Amino acid sequence: MVECAGCYGEGCGECQGTGRILVTTCPLDFAGDDVWDALEMTSYLEHGALPIPGGVLDQTHIFLEAARFIGAERARQRAAMWERS
């Protein structure tokens, strides 16, 4: 069982209100090429590199949305690790 990514454990329709989801296959099977591309491109941000030459305003909206989501998720996971330790 893992925390529901749709509601972060609060309970929603996706997890039938339990806040947890039973995973019966490898979670990596859920990630398509677009997810891997987004993870790779946002990892370059940590080194100050953007995928499209120019500044932040030159990047695509979908990239900025993905970077914001992935950055928030990474921060949330780091915080959860600190709480457990």
Positions in the binding site for Zn ion (CB under 5 A): 4, 6-7, 12, 14-15
CB-nearest residue to Zn ion? 4
Query: Which residue, 9 or 51, has its beta carbon nearer to Zn ion?
Result: 9
How big is the chain by its Cα radius of gyration, in Å? 16
CB of 3 to Zn ion, least distance (A): 8
CA angle 62, 51, 67 (to 5 degrees): 40
Query: Which residue, 20 or 74, has its beta carbon nearer to Zn ion?
Result: 20
Residue 82 CB: number of other CB atoms within 10 A? 8
